[in-house]
Amino acid sequence: MPIETTPVLTGVRGAEPAPDAELVALPFGPDLTPAAAPWLESPVPVDALLAHYEAKGEPGEVVEVPTAREGSVRRVLLYGVGDASAAALRKAGASVARRAKGRASLSVVVPSEGETAALVEGALLAAYTFTIGNGRAKSVGEIVFLGGDERELRRGETVARATALARDLVNTPSSVKTPAWLADQAKAVAAESGLAVRVWEGSELGEFGGIRAVGQGSISPPRLVQLSYTPENPRAHVVLVGKGITFDTGGLSLKPTEGMKTMKTDMAGGATVIAAMSALAAFDVPVRVTGLVACAENSISGSAQRPGDVITQYGGRTVEVLNTDAEGRLVLADALAYADAELDPDVVVDVATLTGAAKIALGQSLGAVYATDDALAAALTAAGEASGERLWRMPLVDDYRAMLDSEVADLANVDRTMSGAAGSIAAALFLREFTGGRPWAHLDIAGPARAGSDEGEITKGGTGFGVRLLLRYLTA
Ligand code: BES
Ligand code: MN
Ligand code: ZN
C-alpha cells in the first residue's frame, strides 16, 4: 500500500547531548535560566541574548542561539516552558518540534520539573506527518529526549503513538479505507496490543439492522468490530462505541460537494476507540474495556436505503429513515443496544462525528459531551481539561424528544418537521433511546476530529481527538 507515515522515532538517553547532535533544544523559563554547558558556547552570552529578544520563557517561545562548535556554526534552541504545567509543556514541545522541521534529528533536554510527559506528547504529535508518495509534509526524522524521568517520558510517547494511530486511520483515503480494511486494522492492533477481537460480517450482522441498512448501498460491505481488554479483577466495565463510517456521501439524501470532501473523517470516532484501546495494556488500566466500532460506507446505488424506509435496529425497535444522511445514529444505535443487551456495562461512552450542528455550536477546538450521569460528565470533562482535549457539556432536552416521534415506526431518525433546530441534541436524544438507562455519555466530535491547519500539537487533517481524553479518563 502506498501509504507512509513519517516514523516518529524517539529515544531517551542520558542528560547530555551527543557531541555530534545535530540540533539541541534547552529549556528556559521565568524561574529557569539555561544551564551553562560547554556545548552552549555562544558569541553573545545567553542571558544577554534572551534579554535582547525580550524572551520571557513563555511556552511557545523559541530562541535560536548560534554556537561555535568544531570550527563551524551550529544552533541551539532555547525553548520557553512557562509554569511547566501540562498545557505549557505540551505547547513548548510542539513549538520546538516545529522548529526542527526538515532536520534529521532533534535532541530535547527535558526540564527537571513539571509534567514532562506532556512535553514528549506535544513534540511527537507536532512532528506527525501523513504522506502518500511525495507529499509535501515535512517533519523531523528523530526526536531524542535527554534527562527527565524515563517512565514519564514513555507515558507521553505511548499517548502520542496512540493518537498518531488514530490520525493515520482518519487520514487514510476512503478508496483504501473500506469497512473490511478498518476491521483488519483493528485486528492488527488487537494482535499487537493483547486485545481479543471479534468481527461480524455478512449474515452475522442479521440483527444489526442499522448497520446493514447504512451499508447496503456500498460495494464494500459493513462490519461490526468488538475489541476486548480484560485485566485481572477489573474494577468496572466500560464500553466504548465508535462511529466507523468509512465515507459519508449522505446516501440518497446526498451531500453537496463542499460538505462531502472531508467525509473520510467520518470514522474518526471508531479510530479513537481503536487507538485508545491500543494503549490500555501499556497503562495497566484497571477496568475492563470493550470497544465496539460500527463500520459501514454510506454510499449511493440502486441498493442504497431510501428516505422513508423503515428499519429494525438491534433489539427490535423500528426506525423510519427520513434522511439517509443521519446515518451515524443508525449504526451507533445497534452497537449501543447490543452493549446494553449483551455486555452488562457499568458505563457506556460513544464517540462520533455525528452532526454538523455540533461543529457549528462549538467550533473545531471543543467536543460536545452529552451524559445521563453527572459524575460521568464531570469525569470526562476533567479528563478533557487535563489532556488538552476540551469538552463542553450540552443538555439532553427532554422536551425535544417528541421531534423524533414517527407516524409509522417507533422512532424517526431525524426531526419529523425537518426544522434542523438543535440538530446535535436531537441526535443525542435518538442515541439515548438505545442505552437501556445505563450511565451513558456521547461525545460529538464532528468539529475537533479534523483540523484545517497545523496549530500547536495539532496537525492538519485527522487530529485523533478523544484518544488522549479517553486514556486520561480510563487511567484516572
Ligand atoms: N458525518 C455527518 C456529520 C458531520 C458534518 C461531521 C460535518 C463532520 C462535519 C453526519 O452523518 C451527518 O451528515 N449529519 C447530518 C444530520 C442531519 C441530516 C440531521 C448533519 O449534521 O447535517
Ligand atoms: Mn451523514
Ligand atoms: Zn456521518
Average pLDDT by stretches of 10, the chain with 476 residues: 48 68 90 75 84 94 86 87 97 97 92 95 95 82 91 95 97 98 98 98 98 98 99 98 99 98 98 98 98 99 98 98 98 99 98 98 98 98 98 97 97 88 96 98 99 97 98 97
CATH number, domain with residue 66: 3.40.220.10
Query: Of the candidates 117, 148, 179, which is a domain's last residue?
Result: 148
How far apart CA 133 and CA 337 sit, in angstroms, is 42
| Domain presence at residue 435 | yes
How far apart CA 28 and CA 24 sit, in angstroms, is 13
Kindly state whether residues 320 and 461 are assigned to the same domain: yes
Q: Ligand 1 pocket test: which of 247, 319, 355, 366 has the largest number of ligand atoms within 8 Å of its C-beta? A: 355
CATH number, domain with residue 320: 3.40.630.10
| Domain presence at residue 423 | yes
| Domain presence at residue 383 | yes
**Cα–Cα distance list, 311 to 34, 224, 412, 428 (Å):** 65, 17, 10, 19
What is the per-residue pLDDT across 73-123, written as a single tens digit (0 to 9) for each?
A: 788 999 999 999 999 999 999 999 999 999 989 999 999 999 999 999 999
The pTM score is 0.96
Burial of 197 (C-beta count, 10 Å sphere; 0-12/13-18/19+): middle
**Taking ligand 2, which is a single-atom ion, which protein residues have CB atoms under 5 Å away?**
248, 325, 327
Report the nearest atom of ligand 1 relative to the CA of 423: 19
Report the nearest atom of ligand 1 relative to the CA of 328: 11
Q: Is the Cβ atom of 424 under 6 angstroms away from ligand 1?
A: no
Q: Is the Cβ atom of 322 under 6 angstroms away from ligand 1?
A: no
Kindly state whether residues 301 and 427 are assigned to the same domain: yes
| Domain presence at residue 385 | yes
Kindly state whether residues 259 and 319 are assigned to the same domain: yes
How far apart CA 265 and CA 135 sit, in angstroms, is 19
Which protein residue has the closest C-alpha to ligand 1 atom 3?
355
- In this prediction, residue 138 carries a pLDDT of 80
Give yes or no for a contact between 446 and 423, defined as CB atoms under 8 angstroms apart: no
Kindly state whether residues 391 and 464 are assigned to the same domain: yes
Kindly state whether residues 174 and 283 are assigned to the same domain: yes
| Domain presence at residue 157 | no
Print the domain residue range for 341. 164-475
- In this prediction, residue 1 carries a pLDDT of 36
Kindly state whether residues 194 and 143 are assigned to the same domain: no
What is the per-residue pLDDT across 421-442, written as a single tens digit (0 to 9) for each?
A: 899 999 999 999 999 999 999 9
How many domains, in total, are found in the chain? 2
Kindly state whether residues 81 and 183 are assigned to the same domain: no
Contacts for 175-179 with beta carbons within 8 Å, 24 or more apart? 176/1, 176/3, 177/246, 177/247, 177/264, 177/267, 178/220, 178/246, 178/297, 179/215, 179/218, 179/220, 179/221, 179/222, 179/223, 179/244, 179/246, 179/295, 179/296, 179/297
Please pick, among 329, 450, 468, 472, the residue that the annotation labels catalytic.
329
Kindly state whether residues 135 and 174 are assigned to the same domain: no
Kindly state whether residues 111 and 203 are assigned to the same domain: no
Distance of CA 423 from the midpoint of ligand 1 (Å)? 9
Q: Is the Cβ atom of 268 under 6 angstroms away from ligand 1?
A: no
Rounded mean pLDDT of the chain? 94
- In this prediction, residue 133 carries a pLDDT of 81
What is the per-residue pLDDT across 161-178, written as a single tens digit (0 to 9) for each?
A: 999 999 999 999 999 999
- In this prediction, residue 15 carries a pLDDT of 66
Q: Nearest Cα to 141, choosing from 242, 8, 11?
A: 8
| Domain presence at residue 153 | no
> Is 329 known to be catalytic?
yes
- In this prediction, residue 136 carries a pLDDT of 76
Query: Of the candidates 84, 116, 148, which is a domain's last residue?
Result: 148
DSSP H helices, 69-206, are 86-99, 116-126, 150-171, 179-193
| Domain presence at residue 308 | yes
Q: Is the Cβ atom of 328 under 6 angstroms away from ligand 1?
A: yes
> Is 255 known to be catalytic?
yes
Kindly state whether residues 252 and 310 are assigned to the same domain: yes
Coil, strand or helix at 430 = helix
According to DSSP, the β-strands at 309-312 and 288-298 are unpaired
Kindly state whether residues 413 and 452 are assigned to the same domain: yes
Kindly state whether residues 132 and 257 are assigned to the same domain: no
- In this prediction, residue 131 carries a pLDDT of 86
Instruction: Report the run of H or E that residue 371 belongs to, with start and end.
Output: strand 367-371
Give yes or no for a contact between 119 and 33, defined as CB atoms under 8 angstroms apart: no
| Domain presence at residue 201 | yes
Handedness of CA 83, 89, 93, 98 (dihedral sign): negative
- In this prediction, residue 3 carries a pLDDT of 44
Query: Of the candidates 87, 113, 148, which is a domain's last residue?
Result: 148
